[in-house]
């Protein structure tokens, strides 16, 4: 089949050189894990590896769990090139070929983004997790992506010219009433049409935007995964069959009930799925995702409250959690039926760090 000048055989593209490149969607439950740091600010690699193993049990691997190394939740934007490679190597060693690994790609320059992609490919990732450009307001908060989609598309072409791997897109831009923080249905359609490497789309949208963009993805002439991201919408997303997998940080703090909820839906047990959802999971996710300006702070605080990591602090200038956020998360996690660390430990940390009330 010819599509936008490229010859497809199923989900495989025949390149100009005559070789076949497989762009089959992964169809996985990708977690975007937070990255713990030591007191001196360096990466807590031992703690990170221990955290990763929670996602890589035989049960969760069979269910489709996979890892994105260097997502936004993992503070990719605050890591230098060597640290980015350190994270990817740790993830690849822990997964040991049992699940696909995507490498996050973002930088303030296209040259830097291409280098990040090349480093990830050389390390052995199976795909790339690509962000729009960052930096000047012209291409971030003031970017009219509908009018100037080439800001993203040119970046994707520059990356694929050097690294021919499948891509999952993290589609964020200027906030709109129609789509929230996500790029529009129009941009989604154009990116999928012009960049054959794109096999997955992280659904960063508000509820109405999710519906509009998921329809565009389903109408595409090739398969592209709809990857749930905003945990508070998962119940409806699954009910609407607009859910091929995930790219989500909600697993950082609510791994067990999230996996149970998804499994119940996949088994067709709507009653059980609804019971799990209404037994605290919905309320927990509604709180975490109620303020996107605090999203990653709450992911990391939640993982710490679960006892999964030793330090909940992000690299400055990312803010520290507030005491009220910590105590609210602890209460909601407990109501959801999962374990949290002792109250004395929580109080001691909040006092020592002099967290804002």
* DSSP-assigned beta bridge partners for residue 202: 227
For residue 22, what pLDDT is reported? 62
Name the pLDDT band for 15 (thresholds 50, 70, 90): low
* DSSP-assigned beta bridge partners for residue 172: 182
Pairing of strands 6-9, 198-203: unpaired
Residue-wise pLDDT tens digits, 91-122: 999 999 999 999 999 999 999 999 999 999 99
Asked if 225 and 232 count as a contact pair (C-beta separation under 8 A), the reply is no
Q: Could you tell me where the DSSP H helices lie in the chain?
A: 45-55, 58-63, 81-95, 110-123, 150-162, 185-194, 207-219, 234-239, 251-266, 270-276, 282-288, 295-305, 323-335, 343-352
Instruction: Please spell the DSSP secondary structure of 288-352, one letter per residue.
Output: HTT-GGGHHHHHHHHHHHTTS-S--PPPTTSPPPPHHHHHHHHHHHHHTT-----HHHHHHHHHH
Q: Which helix (H) or strand (E) holds 247?
A: strand 245-248
**287-295 own/partner pairs: CB under 8 Å, 24+ apart:** 287/328, 287/329, 287/332, 288/231, 288/232, 288/250, 288/253, 288/329, 289/230, 289/231, 289/232, 292/181, 294/319, 294/325, 295/249
Copy the structure tokens of residue 244. 């091929």
d(CA 95, CA 66): 8
For residue 5, what pLDDT is reported? 38
Pairing of strands 6-9, 172-176: unpaired
- Mean pLDDT over each residue of the chain, to the nearest integer: 94
d(CA 28, CA 50): 21
Copy the structure tokens of residue 318. 């990312």
Stronger pLDDT, 86 or 11, i.e. the higher one: 86
- The pTM of this model reads 0.94
Residue-wise pLDDT tens digits, 160-200: 999 999 999 999 999 999 999 999 999 999 999 999 999 99
d(CA 71, CA 67): 9
Pairing of strands 225-228, 245-248: parallel
Q: In which residue are the tokens 């280098």 written?
A: 115
Architecture of the domain defined by 2-249: Alpha-Beta Barrel (3.20)
Write down the domain spans for the chain. Answer: 2-249, 280-357
DSSP 3-state assignment of 222? coil
Query: Rounded to the nearest 5 degrees, what angle is found at the Cα of 237, between the Cα atoms of 232 and 240?
Result: 150
Name the pLDDT band for 7 (thresholds 50, 70, 90): very low
> Would you give the end-to-end CA distance of the chain in angstroms?
60
For residue 21, what pLDDT is reported? 61
């Amino acid at each position: 089949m010819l599509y936008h000048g490229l010859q497809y055989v199923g989900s495989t593209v025949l390149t100009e050189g005559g070789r076949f490149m497989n762009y089959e969607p992964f169809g996985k439950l990708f977690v975007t894990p937070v990255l713990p740091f030591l007191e001196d600010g360096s990466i807590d690699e031992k703690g990170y590896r221990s955290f990763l193993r929670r996602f890589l049990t035989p049960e969760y691997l069979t269910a489709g769990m996979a890892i994105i190394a260097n997502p936004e939740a993992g503070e990719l934007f605050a890591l230098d090139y060597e640290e980015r490679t350190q994270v990817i190597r740790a993830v690849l060693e822990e997964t040991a070929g049992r699940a696909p690994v995507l490498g996050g790609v973002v930088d303030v320059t296209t040259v830097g983004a291409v280098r990040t992609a090349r480093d990830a490919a050389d390390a052995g990732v199976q795909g790339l997790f690509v962000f729009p450009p960052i930096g000047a307001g012209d291409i971030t908060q003031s970017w009219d992506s509908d009018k100037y989609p080439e800001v993203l598309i040119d970046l994707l072409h520059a990356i694929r010219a050097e690294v021919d791997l499948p891509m999952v897109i993290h589609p964020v831009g200027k906030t709109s009433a129609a789509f929230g923080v996500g790029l529009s249905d129009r941009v989604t359609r154009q990116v999928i049409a012009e960049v054959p490497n794109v096999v997955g789309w992280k659904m960063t949208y508000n509820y109405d935007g999710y519906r509009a963009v998921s329809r565009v993805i389903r109408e595409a002439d090739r398969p592209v995964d709809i990857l749930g991201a905003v945990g508070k919408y998962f119940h409806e997303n699954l009910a609407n069959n607009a859910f091929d997998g995930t790219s989500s940080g909600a697993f950082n703090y609510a791994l067990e009930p999230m996996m149970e909820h998804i499994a119940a839906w996949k088994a067709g047990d709507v009653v059980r799925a609804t019971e799990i959802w209404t037994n605290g999971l919905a309320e927990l996710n509604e709180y975490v995702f109620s303020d996107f300006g605090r999203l990653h702070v709450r992911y990391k605080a939640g993982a710490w409250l679960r006892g999964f990591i030793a330090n909940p602090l992000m690299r400055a200038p990312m803010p520290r959690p507030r005491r009220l956020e910590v105590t609210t998360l602890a209460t909601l996690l407990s109501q959801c039926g999962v374990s949290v660390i002792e109250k004395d430990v929580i109080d001691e940390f909040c006092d020592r760090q002099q967290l804002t009330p």
